[in-house]
Chains A and B, each alone.
Chain A
Amino acid sequence: MLVSRVSRAGILMLRGLSRGKLTPITRAGYIQRPYGQYLQPWFERQTETKVFQGSIFLKHHNFSTTTTANASEEGSEKEETISVTFVDKDGEEQHIEVPIGMSMLEAAHENDIELEGKDSDTYLIQRFASLHLSNFVLLGFNERACEGSLACSTCHVIVMDMEYYNKLEDPADEENDMLDLAFGLTETSRLGCQVIAKPELDGIRLAIPAATRNFAVDGYVPKPH
């Protein structure tokens, strides 16, 4: 009983964390200093694609924190939203409205998509367990370790309808590099940080992969293919 509750709670937390529920401070810190000292070298050596992505990222920032200002200054166009459904591993659906221009990762954040069953001990222990487990191929932290800088695959989502998948721009090489390492990769997998809301995507359904859950329950170790 406890076991299943604990493991479930842990997973829910991890899943919640992947949407940053517990990371508001960091997130704000990062967003506000994209040209800060720490990240400067990284931005400086971006390829064109990445710079482009970087600018999208900055754009989210504007939308997510100064929506009102934008709306009043630039008219009503920017207030437009599309409807997005997140489907979790149990098939439970969450419908949210996402402003045009915002990434699905940010949108999931802003909407606090679930964080039920928070268990601080399990959280603590799990954070610990991974605290000292590092690896030279540091690409796949949980809780979107890279904070949107396209350096991990933790915001992996699966576009549920091919029709919508085809409306997305093809993933850039850098996104594909990260998807290589995502668990439970499918033909319609994308990184949530790279799926940007646009009018054609109204009604899109995104499944959140259930690799973690499967593992904890049956001992299945997912292979990073």
Chain B
Amino acid sequence: MAIFQARTWLSRKAEVDIIDRLPTPFGLVRSGVAPDHPETKIVINQFSRVARHDRCSFFGNVTLGSSVSLLELRELYHVVVLAYGAESDRELGIPGEDLVGIHSAREFVWWYNGHPDCKNLDLDLKNTDTAVILGQGNVALDVARILLRPATELATTDIASHALAALEESSIRKVYLVGRRGPVQAACTAKELREVLGIKDLCIHLQEADLLKTPKDEEEIKNNRIQRRVYELLSKAATTGPSNPRSGQRELHFVFFRKPDRFLESDERRGHVSGVHFEKTVLKDVGDGKRIAVGTGQFDDLECGMVLKSIGYKSVPVDGLPFDHQKGVVPNIRGRVLHDTSGDPTLLEEGLYVCGWLKRGPTGIIATNLYCAEETVVSISEDLNLLASKASLPKPGREGLLHLLDNRKVKFVQFSAWEKIDSTETRLGSLKNKPRDKLTTWEDLLKVARE
């Protein structure tokens, strides 16, 4: 969560405090971006420069809702911006969803990225040779790639050590990427698709019949460059891929036009998943040029010992925050938080703003978030102008927060303490020829931060 304190905005002396529940900054750049995408993480350089700014402070290990409430923050600061994203998962709501062996992709991603909340994820990669991933977006492709890439190639990334060890022993050889719609509608981008298709010694499977395009598909492709290029890559993979895998060779199967109907329970291992029962789908027009997948009443099964659901993230509300449970976002107009979901633009929560996934839902690329942030900042600027004309009272700001945290014995982690974690991780990493070896437990992180 980011907090913008703008006590003396007009004199251009605003202070900004960032609060994060983790002892580590950078949000998903640390816990979301795949370990084999180091070039994407270069942006941390820029983030760090901001965090080291004179008028900026980082308060890690401070949880909104328990360490400090939203109400308290709003009393302390003129402006509070919530940017805590989406830390939960959408659910399918189908039978068997809580069987052992079914995880959300978010948990798996947190696990391999060393997020301290998922270090002990009950992940069994040794009891099955088949994993089914539900969803075909970029997260799904990230997850498939991590499962299928030779572990030796991951060994020199900043992947969490526990994940590397488990992947080295993984018995998973077949990964199914299952989508409700067709290859034209696949929600990934060309870069990620190219990457997974290019994994060394990987056998790619997809049904050529699925690649047939309807006139509607042709139209969609014509109007969307990303979809067109993704489709072209898939077609190319279908025609060039080797058809018969050698024994033990890793396989990636793209499965289209299937929606999960229920999960199957293993007979031998009660409580464990043994497969997914799918309903075949077709695309149906619902107006506005939109098409959705609807069931056909025909079913088939896929056997597997692990399922990763990559069907979207969900934001979680905190006390005192208006929340649209249906859309999973905070009701807002251009980042200004609204009192309720009625959409009445006059009912504003003064000084409260939102941006990112919490504002728009968990979609879009990072640049979308940048524009999103800009929009919120413009709203704040406009409002502060008004606030200043009302000669509003000064607020305690950072001092008040420090006082409150001190009273509650909340041991926050400042940016300089994060830098200790950072250098420890880098040092540990250099011993293993990794860019960093992440500390993956709360205890380790906090211990190093306080050294």
**Residues of A that sit less than 8 Å from B by CB:** 2-3, 6-7, 10-11, 14, 22-23, 25-26, 29-30, 37-42, 44-45, 47, 119-122, 124-143, 145-147, 149-154, 173-174, 176-178, 180-181, 183, 185, 211-212, 215-216, 219, 221-222, 224-225
Choose one: A2, A29, A132, A146; the contact of B2 (CB below 8 Å).
Answer: A132
Contact present for A177 and B138 (CB under 8 Å): no
13 cross-chain CB contacts under 8 A: A11-B374, A22-B49, A37-B435, A41-B36, A41-B435, A121-B9, A121-B14, A124-B55, A153-B367, A177-B194, A180-B190, A180-B226, A185-B225
Cβ of B300 to closest chain A Cβ, rounded Å: 30
Chain B contacts for A178, CB-based, 8 A: 191
From B28, which residue of chain A is reached at the shortest CB distance? A134
Choose one: B18, B156, B368; the contact of A128 (CB below 8 Å).
Answer: B18
Contact present for A125 and B4 (CB under 8 Å): yes
**Residues of B that sit less than 8 Å from A by CB:** 1-2, 4, 6, 9, 12-14, 16, 18, 20, 25-29, 32-33, 36-40, 42-43, 45-47, 49-51, 53, 55-56, 81, 83-85, 109, 138-139, 142, 153, 156-157, 189-192, 194, 198, 224-226, 229, 334, 355-357, 364-378, 380-382, 385, 429-430, 435
From A17, which residue of chain B is reached at the shortest CB distance? B46
Choose one: B371, B375, B381; the contact of A2 (CB below 8 Å).
Answer: B381
User: What's the A-B contact tally at a CB cutoff of 8 Å?
Assistant: 250
Contact present for A129 and B39 (CB under 8 Å): no
From B8, which residue of chain A is reached at the shortest CB distance? A121
Choose one: A7, A39, A40, A130; the contact of B370 (CB below 8 Å).
Answer: A130
Known contacts A132-B85, A136-B32; A124 and B16 CB within 8 A of each other: yes
Chain A contacts for B9, CB-based, 8 A: 121
Contact present for A122 and B381 (CB under 8 Å): yes
Choose one: A133, A173, A181; the contact of B369 (CB below 8 Å).
Answer: A133
Contact present for B42 and A149 (CB under 8 Å): yes
Chain A contacts for B365, CB-based, 8 A: 135, 137-140, 181, 224
Majority SS at the chain B contact face: helix
| A212-B373 Cα distance, complex, nearest whole Å | 11
Contact present for A177 and B366 (CB under 8 Å): no
| A132-B87 Cα distance, complex, nearest whole Å | 13
Choose one: B42, B226, B229, B372; the contact of A145 (CB below 8 Å).
Answer: B42
Contact present for A129 and B355 (CB under 8 Å): yes
Choose one: A120, A185, A219; the contact of B375 (CB below 8 Å).
Answer: A219
Cβ of A144 to closest chain B Cβ, rounded Å: 9
Known contacts A124-B50, A173-B194, A225-B226; A38 and B435 CB within 8 A of each other: yes
Contact present for A128 and B50 (CB under 8 Å): yes
Cβ of A62 to closest chain B Cβ, rounded Å: 21
Contact present for B190 and A134 (CB under 8 Å): no
Contact present for B42 and A224 (CB under 8 Å): no
The 9 closest A-B pairs by CB, nearest first: A140-B367, A129-B373, A134-B28, A133-B356, A177-B191, A127-B50, A133-B369, A151-B39, A145-B43
Contacts beyond the supplied A121-B12, A133-B27, A137-B138: 8 A-B pairs with Cβ under 8 Å: A3-B378, A6-B381, A22-B49, A29-B45, A42-B38, A134-B26, A134-B85, A135-B357
Contact present for B18 and A45 (CB under 8 Å): no
Cβ of B133 to closest chain A Cβ, rounded Å: 14
Contact present for A126 and B189 (CB under 8 Å): no
Contact present for A138 and B40 (CB under 8 Å): yes
Contact present for A41 and B366 (CB under 8 Å): no
Contact present for B366 and A42 (CB under 8 Å): no
Contact present for B27 and A38 (CB under 8 Å): no
Cβ of A75 to closest chain B Cβ, rounded Å: 35
| Residue in A125, A181, A224 whose Cβ sees the most chain B Cβ within 10 Å | A125
| A17-B139 Cα distance, complex, nearest whole Å | 29
Choose one: A38, A127, A139, A185; the contact of B189 (CB below 8 Å).
Answer: A139
Choose one: A38, A146, A177; the contact of B40 (CB below 8 Å).
Answer: A146
| Residue in B47, B51, B190, B370 whose Cβ sees the most chain A Cβ within 10 Å | B370
Contact present for B430 and A37 (CB under 8 Å): yes
| Residue in B12, B39, B198, B430 whose Cβ sees the most chain A Cβ within 10 Å | B39
| A221-B375 Cα distance, complex, nearest whole Å | 9
Cβ of A89 to closest chain B Cβ, rounded Å: 15
Cβ of A188 to closest chain B Cβ, rounded Å: 14
Contact present for A132 and B366 (CB under 8 Å): no
Contact present for A127 and B46 (CB under 8 Å): yes
Chain B contacts for A11, CB-based, 8 A: 374
| A134-B20 Cα distance, complex, nearest whole Å | 14
Chain A contacts for B109, CB-based, 8 A: 136
